Structure 1
Amino acid sequence: MFDKFGEMSSYKEINTLAENLFNEGDLKNLKEMAKENGIPGDFVELYLSGDIMELCDAETAAYGKIDVEVKELKLKGIMEDWLEYLRVQISDNDLLARRVRMKDKNLKGCIAALLKWSFKNQVPVDKEILKAAEVTAGKVTLGIPNMGKAKEIIRNYYLGGEKE
């Protein structure tokens, strides 16, 4: 995933490397580093032309990391919704955006935290619902967090006890 340049733990680290590569005239590696970190090509072009002073900010770096990680995870269904909850929270919370970029946090761990909660909080599905769904199995349980709980789990995973 972060094979050539390694996983960077902050947008500042990305910007420092981008500046060094730019100053060395190594535009090829600058573009590769940006791509490896999920930084959009148009940001690279704006940076190279001098239209923006830094390659990315905390939010862009967080989205980039998420975009790189999601390619390997192939999320489906409710997990795609959880990803969107995370994206919205990144745009609303600078601290969360910075924490998403940290090396000890990743989308896989976040989804795992949501699944752990889901397995621990399963409840029986009403028999009438099972009948309407034409489910003939005996007991069926389900444990998917509602939107508010999912957002809370996401924040707790990335922020722990830190205040927003």
Structure 2
Amino acid sequence: MFDKFGEFDSAEEINRAAAAQLKEGDLDAIKTIAEENGLDSEDAEDFCTGAIDSLTTPLLAAIGKLEMESKDLGLKNMMEDWKNFMIQMCEEDDQMAQAVRKKGKSLEKCMAQILKVSFETKARLDDRIVRAAGLKPPIYLGIPGKAQIRKIAEKYYKGEEK
């Protein structure tokens, strides 16, 4: 995923690397930095032409990282919804966006923690529901709600519990 330039720790780090490449005149490198970090190619072009002063913001850097990781993991359905909720959390909280971008933090590990809680909190479904679905009881299900996901994600990314 971060094959050529490695994983950046922040939007500021991305911007410094892009500025250094711009100074060297290596526009292809800037486009590679953008691509590796899930940033819009048009933003890379705008940065190269001087239309914008920086390649990214903390929010765009966090969203780009989450989207790249999601694509790499092949997330679908419920897990994609969890990722989208984390994007929403970044949109609501600048500190969360910065924490998501930190080097060493990954969507894979955060999802693993959510999945673990899902299994730890599973409950038996009412047999009537199971039969109505055409399935054979007993069936156990554990899907955390947004409040639980928020708590898990904040604890993982920011190291705090709320």
Asked if 1:3 corresponds to 2:3, the answer is yes
For 1:65, the equivalent position in structure 2 comes to: 65
| Percentage of identical aligned residues | 40
Equivalent residues of 2:154, 2:161 under 8 A apart: no
CA offsets per residue over residues 72-109 of structure 1, 9 Å max, x none? 11112211110110110111111111111111211101
What is the TM-score normalised by the length of structure 1? 0.94
Does residue 98 of structure 1 match 2:98? yes
Give the Å deviation of 1:52: 1.4
TM-score for the superposition, normalised by structure 2: 0.95
Number of residue equivalences: 162
Cα 1:127–1:162 shift into 2, 3 Å: closer
> In the aligned structure 2, how far is the partner of 1:48 from the partner of 1:28?
10
Q: State the superposition RMSD in angstroms.
A: 1.4
CA–CA distance in structure 2, aligned partners of residues 139 and 98 of structure 1 = 43
| Residues 124 and 138, structure 2, Cα contact 8 Å, conserved in 1 | yes
| Alpha-carbon distance, 1:141 to partner | 0.7
Runs of 4+ with deviation above 2 angstroms: none
Larger RCO: 1 or 2 (CA < 8 Å, sep 6+): 1
SS at match of 1:144: coil
Range with greater deviation from structure 2 (87-96 or 150-159) = 150-159
Contact 2:38 2:61 (8 Å CA) reproduced: yes
Kindly state the Cα deviation for residue 145 of structure 1 after the two structures are TM-superposed. Answer: 0.5
Shift of 1:162: 7.5
Task: Give the distance between the partners of 1:42 and 1:119, measured in 2 at CA.
Answer: 42
What CA distance in whole angstroms lies between the structure 2 residues aligned with 1:82 and 1:40?
Answer: 22
Shift of 1:49: 2.0
Structure 1 residue runs without a partner (length 5+): none
Unaligned runs of 5+ in 2: none
Note the alpha carbon deviations across 1:110-145, whole angstroms, 9 max, x for none.
Answer: 111110100110111111111111112x42111101
Partner Cα distance (1:101, 1:72) in 2 = 16
Which residue does 1:145 correspond to in 2? 144
Distance (whole Å) between structure 1 residues aligned to residue 90 and residue 18 of structure 2 = 23
| Residue identity in the other structure for 1:141 | Y
- Corresponding residue SS for 2:4: coil
Pairwise CA distance, 1:37? 1.1
